[in-house]
């Protein structure tokens, strides 16, 4: 049982500001993901929670108790590190049991054995208990590290990029396991990753961090579908969201967007967007279009553009099309069954209701109520 509260935390290392006025709450039992590029401050946040760092300013609460100055061993949090840090000369059993054998714990060896075996069974590494870590595969090492974290039965799990060194297939499998692990349900977990798919898939809520600052906190769909700014929009989604620098201009009765590097075209926008951009409120905007909302073909009522196929790649469950509209090079997602050849002339349209607009000055989302 643990709730976490970060209150206006700033962390400096010398002159470098790693975290700037970060505040958030984690509910009891919540799976809370810290997402961001490398250097965003994710691991610093975890280490502050674990008690390995002390905040420069602000307070950290666990269950309403201010723990900002408490040493790690008074917090009952367990942390796994990105490098598994297993003891190579100990068996897998001894590695998992090691936190229970810490001085002052005095847990009877029968109970140690039971707890290690229980968690090993749950993570499907019970057949490895007598071996050395070197004999385990990458995915198994990860699970051994996880078992060592879980065997303590802490109030809070802190997991730092637990899947990042594994190949795609094992990541995928372990992600499924995280969903199934009863032991993780109900225990407050803070999970650090730079991978948006992991974040969306696992998180009850996501905190998107960049440059030491909170960019957005929300449920997975909010983060993906309703990004607060251009940094969030770029961090989640692959291929990257298309960003087109545009000038807003009047074209007859309409307000349209003219791409700066392709002034011969006007992009039509929704009525709400037109209303918002009237009276020159935003002389320039950044237009964001996710690749899945650029379509090949023509449908009545849509604005149709003449495009030319630049590069086309068929992946597993989708095709990725780089299409040129004049000097604009945009990425579109297609069905993997589609086939396009380099240089082919195609028609393209956008789903304009799915457009995002960002301010060119600060990258913040321009919203219309």
Partner 1 sequence: MAKVTLKNVYKIYTPRTKGGKEVEAVRDLNLVIEDGEFMALLGPSGCGKTSTLRMIAGLESITKGDIYFDDVRVNDLSSVERNVAMAFETYSLYPHMTVYKNISFPLEVRHKSKKEIHKIVENLAKKFQLDDVLNEYPARLSGGQQQRVSLARALAREPSVFLLDEPLSHSDAQLRFQMRTEIKRLHYEIKSTMIYVTHDQLEALSLADRVAVMNFAELQQVGTRDELYNNPYNLFVADFIGEPPMNLNKGLVTQEDDDLFLKLLGSSITLHMNAERTEKIKRLDKKEYIVGIRPQDIIPVEVPSGFMTFDAEVDFVEFIGERSLLTIKNGDLTLKVLASPDFDVKAGEVLKFSYPPERVHVFDIETEKSILVL
- CB closer to partner 1, 204 vs 213: 204
Nearest to partner 1 of 155, 198 (CB atom)? 198
The single residue among 39, 58, 72, 239 that binds partner 1, judged by CB under 8 A, is 239
> Per CB under 8 A, does 185 bind partner 1?
no
Q: Rule CB under 8 A: say whether 195 interacts with partner 1.
A: yes
Any contact of residue 179 with partner 1 (CB under 8 A)?
yes
Rounded CA separation 155/29 (Å): 9
C-alpha distances out from residue 288 to 280, 311, 330, Å: 19, 21, 11
Nearest residue (CB) to partner 1, 253 versus 337: 337
Q: How far is the CB of 325 from partner 1 (least distance, A)?
A: 17
Is 221 a residue that touches partner 1 (CB under 8 A)?
Answer: yes
Q: Which residue has the tokens 């989604």?
A: 237
Which residues neighbour 287 within 8 Å (Cβ) at sequence distance 6 or greater?
243, 244, 245, 246, 257, 259, 267, 355, 356, 357
Region of 66-74, 171-179, 185-193, 205-213 interacting with partner 1 (CB under 8 A): 171-179
CA distance 7 to 1: 20
**Interaxial angle between packed helices 138-150 and 109-122, expressed in degrees from 0 to 180 and rounded to the nearest 10:** 130
Interaction pattern, residues 297-336, with partner 1; x per rule: CB under 8 A? -------------xx-xxxxxx-x-x----------x--x
- Closest separation in Å from C-beta 46 to partner 1: 20
CB of 291: closest distance to partner 1 in angstroms? Answer: 8
For 162-172, b where at least 16 C-beta lie within 10 A, e where not — what string? bbeebeeebbe
Yes or no: say if 234 and 290 are a contact pair by the CB < 8 Å rule: no
Pick the piece of the chain touching partner 1 (CB under 8 A) from 40-48, 165-173, 259-267, 269-277.
165-173
Measured CA to CA, the distance from residue 158 to residue 144 in angstroms comes to 15
Judged by the rule CB under 8 A, the positions of this chain that interact with partner 1 are 38, 167-169, 172, 176, 179, 194-197, 200-201, 220-221, 224, 236-240, 290-292, 310-311, 313-318, 320, 322, 333, 336, 342
């Amino acid at each position: 049982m643990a709730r976490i509260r970060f209150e206006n935390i700033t962390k400096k290392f010398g002159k470098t500001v790693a975290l700037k006025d970060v505040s958030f709450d984690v509910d009891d039992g919540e799976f809370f993901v810290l997402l961001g590029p490398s250097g965003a401050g994710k691991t610093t946040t975890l280490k502050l929670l674990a008690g390995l760092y002390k905040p420069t300013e602000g307070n950290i609460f666990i269950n309403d108790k201010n723990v900002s100055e408490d040493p790690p061993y008074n917090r009952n949090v367990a942390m796994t590190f990105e490098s598994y840090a297993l003891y190579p000369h100990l068996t897998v059993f001894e590695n998992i049991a090691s936190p229970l054998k810490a001085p002052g714990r005095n847990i009877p060896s029968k109970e140690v054995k039971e707890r290690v075996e229980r968690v090993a069974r749950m993570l499907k590494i019970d057949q490895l208990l007598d071996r050395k870590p070197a004999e385990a595969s990458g995915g198994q090492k990860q699970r051994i590290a996880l078992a060592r974290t879980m065997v303590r039965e802490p109030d809070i799990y802190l997991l730092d990029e637990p899947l990042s060194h594994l190949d795609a297939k094992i990541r995928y499998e372990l992600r499924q396991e995280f969903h199934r692990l009863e032991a993780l349900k109900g225990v407050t977990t803070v999970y650090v990753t730079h991978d948006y798919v992991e974040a969306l898939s696992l998180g009850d809520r996501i905190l998107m961090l960049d440059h030491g600052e909170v960019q957005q906190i929300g449920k997975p769909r909010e983060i993906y579908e309703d990004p607060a700014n251009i940094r969030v929009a770029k961090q989640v989604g692959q291929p990257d969201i298309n960003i087109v620098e545009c000038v807003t201009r009047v074209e007859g009765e309409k307000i349209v967007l003219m791409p700066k590097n392709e002034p011969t075209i006007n992009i039509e926008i929704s009525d709400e967007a037109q209303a918002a951009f009237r009276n020159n409120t935003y002389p320039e905007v950044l237009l964001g279009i996710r690749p899945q909302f650029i379509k090949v073909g023509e449908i009545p009522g849509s604005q149709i553009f003449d495009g030319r196929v630049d590069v086309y790649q068929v992946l597993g469950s989708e095709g990725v099309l780089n299409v040129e509209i004049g000097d604009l090079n945009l990425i579109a997602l297609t069905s993997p069954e589609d086939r396009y050849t380099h240089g082919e002339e195609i028609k393209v349209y956008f789903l304009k209701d799915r457009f995002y607009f960002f301010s060119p000055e600060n990258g913040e989302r321009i919203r219309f109520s």
